Structures are given as structure tokens and as C-alpha cells.
Structure 1
Amino acid sequence: MKIQARITIPYAVANYAEMRDRGFYYVDKTDYIPRLEAYKAPVFLRPRRFGKSLLVSTLAHYYDRTLAHRFEDLFGGTYIGSHPTPEHNRYMIIRYDFSAMVMADNMEGLEQNFNDLNCSPVEIMVLHNHDLFGDFKFTARGNASKMLEEALAYARGHGFPPVYILIDEYDNFTNQLLTSYNDPLYEKVTTADSFLRTFFKVIKKGIGEGSIRTCFCTGVLPVTMDDLTSGYNIAEILTLESDFINMLGFTHAEADAYLRYVLDKYTGSQERYD
């Protein structure tokens, strides 16, 4: 794995463009991008602070059709910059972040908070791709699933490029229900025709129809994905697959090179490390 030495050591930077534009030290993991293209509904699980959000941001910048003019700026010097796949900058991006979900103690409150959070990503996608959507208007504002369904149907009907969906921390709020011992509410959220199951059913349908190229999810546990059952039974959990085991976090070699760089930068000598 090639490591690109940068000027500044980053802390809690989860935006790929910021990482590159500000010259932060960057461990190149972009060689995993071609491998991910073999999947339509990949799910990758890791604890917090493992770089999941940076990976999501990297994929968003790589596939966003509106960022084609910045490809060399953002990916020059990386593996994928030298070995781009035909799919780079080909898709419309919708990026969700379930970690920002506000909790509630009843189903109605959770559904309202879910919609409040997840309507804007679809609107942002439409705005970013205004050259395609033109005067398109939503008729189901306030409902995240219906707004996604409307945008996908319009895009498919007009022959637009597929959508690439990214969901960061897909299980954040459902895990909070489990850890607070609110099992009855958790069961309502993950069964029957709940707002969450409906949302993932829309994504499943979009993948089947071809209006969605990929839905890539990150999270911590597989429990919620398993409990969605038929609502999203196309999920492919890659966490323990040998081809992806080092996609997040540092290998020993990467950590070694990183520490040597840090010590050399701040002490001018590696003797203490050795």
C-alpha cells in the first residue's frame, strides 16, 4: 500500500476534498475502489473512529459526475488516480448520514426525525445535477422515501445516469434503541411497513431497476441489516472478506510508516522510535 506523505497530520478530518486540498498526510486506500465495483449493495462494518466517513467521502468525490473537472486535483498521486475505472465521475450522488438522527421515545417521533434528516440529501442531489433535472419539482416533500422514489423515477424516465447512494452509520439510531433497552420500539422500526423498511425497499427497487448503481452502507453492527430481512435482503456484508479486511484502519506497515513520518517531522530524528 503506497503512503502519500503530506505536510500536516490530520485529526478528525472526514472530508476527502479537504484532506487533499489542505495537503494532509493521507494513507492511500483507493486501490479498494475497483474491488467495490463488483457489488451493488455492499455493507462495511467497523467501530467508530476507523475512517468510515472518510471512505464514504472518498467514494462520493470519485463517482460524482459534477466533480469530473477536479479528478486530477483530488486523485492525482493516488492508486486510483493512476488506475481509474471507467465508472469514475459517472453518477449522481446521494449521501445520507444516519449518525445525525435525533432520537425520540415513540414511533411517530422517530419517523418525523428520520424524514427531517433524510429529505435534504435528495434535494441536494437534484440541485447539484440541475443541468439534468431542470425545473423538476417534488410532490411529496417531507417524506424521505417518497422523495427518493420520485427522484429515481424521474431520472430513470429521462435516461439520466444512475444514482450512487452512500449511507454512513446506517445503524446509529437503531443501535441506540438497543443499548437503551427499548426493544419494542426497535422491533417496530425494523419490521412490518416501518419508515426504515420502506426506505430500504425503495433502494432495493432502485437497484433492481437500474436507477441506483450502488448503495454503500457503513455501520457498526450487522443486527439491523439482518432484522430488515426481506426489506433489504440484497445486502452484501464485506467486513470479513479477505479482499476488504484492511480497507479501513492501518496495517502494521502503514502505521509504521506513519509513526516514522510523525517523529521525523516533529523531532527530526527516528532514533526514539527505533
Structure 2
Amino acid sequence: MLKFSYGISNFHRIITANFFFVDRTKHIQLIEDAGDQLLFLRPRRFGKSLLLSMLENYYDVAKADEFERLFGNLAIGQNPTPLHNQYLIMKWDFSVINAQGEIADLKHALHDHLNDSIQDFAVRYQNLLQYQIKINPQNAVSSFESALTAIKQTPYRLYLLIDEYDNFANEVMMGRGKISPSRYKALLSAEGSLKTFFRAVKSASSGRGLF
């Protein structure tokens, strides 16, 4: 009897719990060939989150011992790329950020989520990081910079996955059920919090530890 994974976007769970999985892992090579910074524009419910989860499990250095278990029976397991299990993985999931409230509330929620993600990263890779990451509760960009400093002391680079950015942006735009361009602009203007974060990400990709 087939077990279908409708609504499940956790690749590790799907494989280890023997859910039905349509093998698209051969596309990993195509993704690598496409470039370093990629934006997926597929519609909602088209498997973007599952794709990111698959990439997370494929590239995570901490899951090298599970490679055969997770990918051995899949296409990429028969012909893996040299980059598998070679990165430290950080994931930001914008769907969990509360997009309600005033601009100050949005900024606070954004900083909290990124700080929580960076703290999770620090705990997961504590055995590989010689430098202690400093979390700045008021400034997640500072926390991210501290993480980059720690990463540069290792032989690895960071693979950053960002999920549901479009969902968060839509929720911000539709504040309290009404279209609110001012809320959206406040976050994405040149001085906006979200734009500031992505400037930090762009800077990190210029030889500062980000893949």
C-alpha cells in the first residue's frame, strides 16, 4: 500500500518513513549548473519547500553519514555531485513570521525569526565551530555577521536556504485584510529591514563565507 505525503515537505521524513516520492533528484546537477544564487518562482503548492528540504539534506555536512540511507535508492545517489554533504546549512522560513501589527512589530518579528534560526545553526554545528556566535537580540544582521565570522574559521561554506519569502511579503501587503503598500514599502525600501538583510546576504556571497 502506497503512503502519500500530501502536505509533508520534510524530505528526511518522507524517505525514512517510506512515503511515496517522485524522484526528481537528478535535477540537483542542473541546479548546481544554473548558478550560485537562485530564485524559484513556481506557484504555491508546487513543491518548493520540499525541494529546499531535499537540498538541505543533500548538502548538509552533518548528514554525511545518512547519505546512503536518504539518497542511495534515488537517481542522485547513483551519480552524486562532488558537492554533496559539503556545506553548513542555514534555513530561514518566512512563513512562521507574524506579519500582523505595526511596522515596528514586523521588524521585531523578523529579527526574532532570523536570530532564532542563527541560534539553531550555532547549536547544530557547535562541534564544527571554533568561534562562538554572538546573538544580538536587537539586530539580527549583527548576529548573521557573527555567524559568518565563525564560518570563516572552518573549512566549510554556508548554504543559505530561504523559504516562503513570497508568502511573508503577501501577508505584509495584506495587513489586517486590506492592501497596505505603505507596510510593504517600509520593509523593502532602501532603508527597510528586509532590504538590509538581503544586502547583508549579498555581501556575504562576496568571499565572506556564503556559497
What TM-score, normalized to structure 2? 0.92
Give 1:46 deviation, angstroms: 2.0
Match of 2:122, as an amino acid? V
SS of aligned partner of 1:117: helix
- State how far apart, in whole Å, the 2-side matches of 1:31 and 1:69 are: 21
SS of aligned partner of 2:26: helix
1:185 and 2:183 aligned: yes
Q: What is the aligned partner in structure 1 of residue 196 from structure 2?
A: 198
SS of aligned partner of 1:14: coil
Q: Using the aligned pairs only, state the percent identity.
A: 33
1:77 and 2:73 aligned: yes
Q: What is the aligned partner in structure 1 of residue 30 from structure 2?
A: 35
Most deviating of 174-183 and 201-210? 174-183
The answer to whether the 8 Å contact 1:99/1:169 transfers is yes
Give 1:121 deviation, angstroms: 1.4
Compute the RMSD of aligned alpha carbons: 1.6
Q: What is the aligned partner in structure 1 of residue 206 from structure 2?
A: 208
- State how far apart, in whole Å, the 2-side matches of 1:171 and 1:139 are: 26
Q: What is the aligned partner in structure 2 of residue 132 from structure 1?
A: 128
The answer to whether the 8 Å contact 1:40/1:207 transfers is no
- Unmatched segments (≥5 aa) in structure 2: none
Cα distance change, pair 135–150 in 1 and its aligned pair in 2 (3 A): closer
Q: What is the aligned partner in structure 2 of residue 249 from structure 1?
A: none
Q: What is the aligned partner in structure 1 of residue 83 from structure 2?
A: 87
Match of 1:161, as an amino acid? Y
1:117 and 2:99 aligned: no
SS of aligned partner of 2:147: helix
Question: More relative contact order in 1 or in 2 (CA 8 Å, sep 6+)?
Answer: 1
Aligned residues: 207
- State how far apart, in whole Å, the 2-side matches of 1:75 and 1:152 are: 29
Describe the superposition over 1:123-143 as per-residue Cα deviations: whole angstroms up to 9, x where unpaired: 111211112224614052343
SS of aligned partner of 2:159: strand
Q: Which has the larger radius of gyration?
A: 1
Q: By percentage of residues, which structure has more strand?
A: 1
Matches within 5 A, 1:91-170: 91-134=87-130, 136-138=132-134, 140-156=136-152, 158-170=153-165
- State how far apart, in whole Å, the 1-side matches of 2:131 and 2:142 are: 18
Matches within 5 A, 1:6-45: 7-38=2-33, 39-45=35-41
Match of 2:171, as an amino acid? Q
The answer to whether the 8 Å contact 1:65/1:92 transfers is yes
Cα distance change, pair 137–207 in 1 and its aligned pair in 2 (3 A): closer
Q: What is the aligned partner in structure 1 of residue 59 from structure 2?
A: 63
Match of 1:64, as an amino acid? D
The answer to whether the 8 Å contact 1:95/1:121 transfers is yes
Matches within 5 A, 1:249-268: none
